[in-house]
Amino acid sequence: MSLASTLAPLPKIAIEPLVRAALLEDLGRAGDITSDAIVPAGLNARTVLVARQPGVIAGLDLARLAFELIDARIFVRVERQDGAAVGAGDRIAVVTGPARGILTAERTALNYLCHLSGVATATAAVVAAVRGYGAKIVCTRKTTPGLRALEKYAVRAGGGGNHRFGLDDAVLIKDNHVAIAGGVREALRRARAGAGHLVKIELEVDTLEQLVEALEEGVDAVLLDNMSPETLTKAVALVDGRALTEASGRITPSTAPTVAASGVDLISIGWLTHSAPILDIGLDFEP
């Protein structure tokens, strides 16, 4: 079954405020003065969203909503769903209706669609690189402010998974927490005392010595940060199934297979959401 058929859509109630705010930012105080001056009010048009390069699609619900909020008479017929792989020149959707409205909404629709498709495409590349290993690719909280839910959705569209959505999802003890607490054991004890019984606790470790302490104290997951492949392999062996293992730290599609070969359960990658290039998608008019 394809990702396009299994991916849960973003709720309209969640995305409408974001799309509405983006359109208002673009419309400013006087609206689209260019299209209003040049395009006759009664002119209808047929346009097509087209991929300019290969990739994976994400963000069609936002693009569709951008057109519909500008003019309810605009109709978007999707031909390639979110999660679908496309090639250069492939049609993604057909957009028909008042030409003025289509042009007014075009940039907002494409901004969302290109950015989120870029995140999905980058994720899919890393997922493909580790295929055959047991590791799952996940994102982080390194997201664009205000767009976290969208970018994490795009990661899922690319075949990846999500780490925490926020600070309230789970306890993640980082190096600064350990430093303030005075050590791994004390940080874990404080976290356990303050967390509810359903809250998972993960600890970031930089050395095998810290890992041993964490395992002796008891932890649900360990974040193995910036470790060499050799150290990662030793760390996974030390854990021996007693906790979930997660590798992180400047991982790319070219280095991901080596990281996955260590046997880690998860590979978390921040650049998927904060630095992935857009997927080039255009809107073309058809006769």
Q: Is the pLDDT of residue 189 over 60?
A: yes
Domains of the chain: 12-120+277-286 (3.90.1170.20), 128-275 (3.20.20.70)
Q: Is 107 assigned a catalytic role?
A: yes
- Which residue among the candidates 61, 68, 204, 246 is catalytic per the annotation? 204
Q: How confident is the model at residue 41 (pLDDT cuts 50, 70, 90)?
A: very high
Q: What pLDDT is recorded for position 287?
A: 83
Please write the tens of the pLDDT for every residue from 224-280. Answer: 999 999 999 999 999 999 999 999 999 999 999 999 999 999 999 999 999 999 999
Q: Is 225 assigned a catalytic role?
A: yes
Q: What pLDDT is recorded for position 6?
A: 78
CB atoms within 10 A of CB 145: 5
Q: What pLDDT is recorded for position 59?
A: 98
> In whole numbers, what is the pLDDT of the chain averaged over residues?
96
- Which residue among the candidates 107, 148, 189, 190 is catalytic per the annotation? 107
Render the chain in DSSP notation, one character per residue: --HHHHPPPPPHHHHHHHHHHHHHHHHTTT--HHHHHHS-TT-EEEEEEEESS-EE---HHHHHHHHHHH-TT-EEEESS-TT-EE-TT-EEEEEEEEHHHHHHHHHHHHHHHHHHHHHHHHHHHHHHHTBTBS-EEE--S---TT-HHHHHHHHHHTT-B---SSTTSSEEE-HHHHHHHTSHHHHHHHHHHHS-TT--EEEEESSHHHHHHHHHH--SEEEEES--HHHHHHHHHHHTTSSEEEEESS--TTTHHHHHTTT-SEEE-THHHHTPPPP-EEEEEE-
Q: What pLDDT is recorded for position 14?
A: 94
Predicted TM-score (pTM) of this structure:
0.95
Q: Is the pLDDT of residue 165 over 90?
A: yes
**Angstrom distance (rounded) from CA 219 to CA 77:** 49
Q: Is 142 assigned a catalytic role?
A: yes
Please write the tens of the pLDDT for every residue from 133-148. Answer: 999 999 999 999 999 9
- Which residue among the candidates 12, 131, 174, 242 is catalytic per the annotation? 174
**Angstrom distance (rounded) from CA 220 to CA 234:** 18
- Which residue among the candidates 46, 136, 142, 185 is catalytic per the annotation? 142
Q: Is the pLDDT of residue 5 over 90?
A: no
Q: What integer is the mean pLDDT of 185-204?
A: 96
Q: How confident is the model at residue 4 (pLDDT cuts 50, 70, 90)?
A: low
Q: Is 204 assigned a catalytic role?
A: yes
